[in-house]
Amino acid sequence: MPPDVPADRLYNEGVYLLNEKKMVKEAAKKFEEVDRQHPYTDWARKSLLLAAYAHYEAHEYNDAIGAAKRYVALHPASSDVAYAQYLIGASYFDQIPDTSRDQSGTEKAIAALEEVIRKYPDSEYAAQARHKIEIGRDHLAAKEMNVARYYQKRKDFIGAINRFKVVVTQYQTTRHVEEALMRLTECYIALGIVQEAQTAAAVLGHNFPDSPWYKDAYRLVRSNGFEPTENSGSWISRAFKRVGLG
């Protein structure tokens, strides 16, 4: 076997390649070699984190996740562990598919980013994690809306209501909640469940009075001879009061 290359030399070669931008894959290999040849050293600790970052920059997300998870497990007390956890979430986040596909990756991204906020709330990465979580939640809401609209178009109003309900109860801070309330108004009107339709329109108007979706809901309820009126016993009313929006 060839003799081990000094750890500092491998590390510095990796840093040089990393700075070259187009050679991040080669940089990752150098950092991994530090860890292989000089395990349990401070050089290995620093190299493991940079390997995760290099893989991330190279869009080798699974390798980035693996290296970052290993860093978190081996060095939980490190000052850089918050960044390693953030890299895990960011790697999942950058792989989020469009809303026509399975969203399990989105859920993994949100879970990993929530760990950043939960464990390292005062770190510089907490704010970035929150921003990505908001985008991820909006993505999940969009997926629910796509499915709900499909059911509604097929006149499966119960199926549509169940999906719109997910948006209203779980994702009501996203941009999709206004349309969800309008669509609930439509579905309940179609089913003849007038009180729920009135409540959906009233809650929409109360929380988003300037929304074009409210104008549509208002017209729909009025055209059927009713007024938007909130029924405090409705699940819609309770959902909004629970988070202080109602």
Rounded-to-integer distance, Cα 132 and Cα 166, Å: 20
Does residue 210 surpass a pLDDT of 60? yes
Strands (E), 122-240: none
The owner of tokens 């409210």 is 214
Distances (CA, A) of 21 to 10, 112, 154: 17, 26, 51
Q: What is the pLDDT of residue 1?
A: 39
The arithmetic mean of pLDDT across residues 191-215, rounded, is: 97
Of 78, 75, 79, 24, nearest to 52 by C-alpha is 24
Q: What is the pLDDT of residue 4?
A: 79
Q: Where are the chain's structural domains?
A: 156-242
Does residue 241 surpass a pLDDT of 90? no
Look up residue 77 and give its two tokens. Answer: 């007390």
CB 43 within 8 A of CB 30: no
pLDDT tens per residue across span 51-89 = 999 999 999 999 999 999 999 999 999 999 999 999 999
Of 146, 68, 139, 148, nearest to 103 by C-alpha is 139
pLDDT tens per residue across span 128-184 = 999 999 999 999 999 999 999 999 999 999 999 999 999 999 999 999 999 999 999
CB 51 within 8 A of CB 39: no
Of 52, 46, 49, nearest to 91 by C-alpha is 52
Output DSSP code: residue 119: H
pLDDT tens per residue across span 100-137 = 889 999 999 999 999 999 999 999 999 999 999 999 99
Q: What is the pLDDT of residue 3?
A: 53
The arithmetic mean of pLDDT across residues 203-220, rounded, is: 96
CB 25 within 8 A of CB 57: no
Longest dimension (CA), the chain: 87
pLDDT tens per residue across span 12-57 = 999 999 998 789 999 999 999 998 999 999 999 999 999 999 999 9
Rounded-to-integer distance, Cα 53 and Cα 56, Å: 5
Q: What is the pLDDT of residue 215?
A: 97
